[in-house]
Structure 1
Amino acid sequence: MVEKRQSRRAAVSGHKRELILDAAKQVFAAEGLEGASLRAIAVHAGYTPAALYFHFDSKEAIYAEVLKASLASLGAAVDQAVAQARTSAQRLKAAAMAFFRFYADNPRDLDLGFYLFRGGMKPAGLGHERDEVLNAALESALRPISEAASELGASRQKANLLMVDCFAHATGLLLLLHTGRIRMFGASASDLMEAYVKDRIAHLTEA
């Protein structure tokens, strides 16, 4: 009987937590980290602000959980794409393009990941420990790029630089895509990303 009650409480608590996170994702998407408030999240979730503190100690803690879930989905999308590739070159392309397409299809997730730029170009974060966890999750999602590059003969340093370069290239194109600026150039962000990855693979295989 006691175990059933504990199990029921845990299920209810877990459900409330998910409702809070779902509400928070919508509030953060609309207001950003700086503009959002615990009160707004609580109202959106149908709870009081005090109820939020039972599950999270701050809005930064909530934001970190929302972003962690987003990065987990990104990592799963990349892993699924890589698993279907047979060669190292195919794995590199699959990883880079899966990263790009995830954020092309989910602009709110991209916005979540770029909370640092809210309020101007200045250093920011969610706390050292949270930042370390989130940065590790992002690096894990990108790692298949460097691993495939290493398989193609790149040194560890060059493979890591290629991973960073792919990340920078993808985010630049995604920024142009989601702001509509890409239309100024009459170009396709997806086609440009694919051409870039193809060129990087050619450089590795020809070296």
Structure 2
Amino acid sequence: MPRTADHDSRRAQITAGVRDLALSSGLGAVTIAGTARAAGISVGLVQHYYDSKESLLADTLGRLLSGIEARVDRAIALAERDHARIEHMLGAGLLELLPLSPAHRDETYLRHAFAGLALDNPTLAEHQLAFDRRLRDRITQAVRNGMECGEVTPETDSLLEGEAALALTQGLAMRLLFDRDDSARSRARAAIATRMASVFVGPCARESR
């Protein structure tokens, strides 16, 4: 176990170097040598863990997306502990996908930079697609859970709502990369809240207990 943990820690250090380099100079500037400098280690050590730039980028993207998902999970869990409606749990999770803080902005920038590379890289594309599918499926399940508790009407198409909510959130995230005005962030929050309210229209059964 310690050896596995050590290896994972080293990979995290290396991929953090990729992120730092990409944020300062763009993904196109990422090289094995540049990553080694950014991570403060030798080129040979980077090559020990990654046999190519492609494998390095793929792991960096995978870790980036996993970190975002973990943060979404935490936001939803926190809302659930507060006994929030499913509407608000889902809304809290979706807000974590927006660049509403400097750290989240960096993540959003990297996500979209990787998306550009993924257009011509099947490995990166699969990471992006799998991430989107997982998010869509989670939104879809939240809508179905809403049906069970009464927040969502039975005739609602849960898969369609999953696609729509994800598309809205991703579109807002991209827009906020270019528009940094406080009013734009406020409108983005309101757009998600409005979308959630239009889907979760009823009272939850537990609210009447």
TM-score normalised according to structure 1 size: 0.72
Match of 1:23 among 17, 20, 38: 17
**Per-residue deviation, 1:10:** 5.9
User: Residue type of the partner of 1:204?
Assistant: V
**Per-residue deviation, 1:103:** 7.0
Equivalent residue, structure 1, for 2:207: none
Q: 1:143 to 1:91 in 2, by over 3 A?
A: farther
Equivalent residue, structure 2, for 1:195: 190
Contact kept in structure 2, 1:152 and 1:205, CA below 8 Å = yes
SS of residue matched to 1:99: coil
Structure 1: 5+ residue runs without aligned partners?
A: 1-5
Contact kept in structure 2, 1:103 and 1:109, CA below 8 Å = no
The CA distance in 2 between the partners of 1:193 and 1:148, in whole Å, is: 21
The yes-or-no answer on 1:124 pairing with 2:120 is: yes
Q: State the superposition RMSD in angstroms.
A: 3.4
**Which aligned pairs between 1:1-207 and structure 2 lie closer than 5 A?**
13-83=7-77, 84-85=79-80, 86=83, 87-100=85-98, 105-116=103-114, 118=116, 123-125=119-121, 127-128=122-123, 131-153=125-147, 158-179=157-178, 181=179, 183=181, 187-189=183-185, 191-206=186-201
Sequence identity, in percent? 19
Q: 1:198 to 1:34 in 2, by over 3 A?
A: same
Structure 2: 5+ residue runs without aligned partners?
A: 203-209
More deviation in 98-107 or 140-149?
Answer: 98-107
The CA distance in 1 between the partners of 2:40 and 2:102, in whole Å, is: 31
The runs of 4+ residues in structure 1 deviating greater than 6 Å are: 154-157
Per-residue CA shift, 1:143-201, capped at 9, x if unaligned?
Answer: 4322222233478993333333333323333333333x354xx7232x22332233223
Per-residue CA shift, 1:20-53, capped at 9, x if unaligned?
Answer: 2221211122233333211211222334433322
